Amino acid sequence: MTPIVADEPPRLQRARGYGRVSFRQTDGRTRLEDLVQEGSAKIRLPRVYDGRGPVAVLLNTAGGITGGDHLVYEAGWGPGTSATVTAQAAERIYRRASGVGRVENRLTVGAGAEAFWLPQETIVFDRAGLARTLEVDLAPDARFTGCEMVVMGRTAMGEDVTTLSLTDRWRIRRNGRLVYADALRFHGDTRAILSGGATGRGARAFASVVQVAPDVADRLDAVRDGLEAAIAASNGRLEAGASVFDGLMSVRLIAADGQALRAGMAPLLERLIDGALPRVWAL
């Protein structure tokens, strides 16, 4: 008698994407040098008129990330260039069947260049899994401003995240020397993890902002004043702090929800980049 063998579960299709954009300086202006798009990773370059250089907008046409997906984005700023890389909308990390989604971001900033890495928030849903890295290589006199925001579910819809696997790792090098290393890890019930006084006091959203520049220490007092104003306006829904060491400013924010976090982030970033945020932030 032939034994009955259960059918193997179907192998689900997974998203793959690779995108690269780079800039060069020509006749005193920053211009596109290279653009590569593969799979679900797309890059758009809308027209801008603010005088601060091009804006590259990252898109994930898969509509979100789940277990087994893999996206890689690379951006390069040539000597003397100034440009912004942002995202079309919030990235969503959905419930997975197995594995984790992987996102790798690699940035290279040349001599005298100014780089702005300003993605919008990442919304993670219950039972999601994400492993994300940000690698930044800076020339000795390059300037860099970068951020990442994470929101635990859509609080306005009553969503909760009780099971999550999330790792988020930053590495920033200046002239080949490691100047900033940070790793965030959640594994388990985020409500329980973030309930402690030393871990979040019940926060459901958080962000990291880093600015590397020779004159960054001169901005600290103004940044702290701005954070104090945002905290006061939040009615207890936002906490934040900033510190400076060796030409690098680190800012942390935690909030009761994504709305409070974004309300604190927008004026902070505009202060750090000396101008308005990319237009996609307002869409």
pLDDT exceeds cutoff 80 at 141: yes
Q: Phi and psi (nearest 5°) for 146?
A: -140, 155
High-pLDDT (> 90) share of the chain, %: 83
What DSSP string runs through 60-87?
ETTSSB-TT-EEEEEEEE-TT-EEEEEE
Residues 229 and 234: their CA atoms lie apart, in Å, by: 9
Structure tokens, 194? 């973030």
* 0.75 exceeded by pTM: yes
Helical packing angle, 220-233 and 258-273, nearest 10°:
150
pLDDT exceeds cutoff 90 at 19: yes
Specify the pairing of strand 164-174 against strand 82-87: unpaired
The per-residue pLDDT for range 172-194, each reduced to its tens digit, is 999 999 999 999 999 988 888 88
Residues 91 and 73: their CA atoms lie apart, in Å, by: 14
Confidence band of 154 (pLDDT split at 50, 70, 90): confident
Span 63-77, average pLDDT: 97
The per-residue pLDDT for range 237-258, each reduced to its tens digit, is 999 999 999 999 999 999 999 9
* pLDDT the model gives residue 200: 87
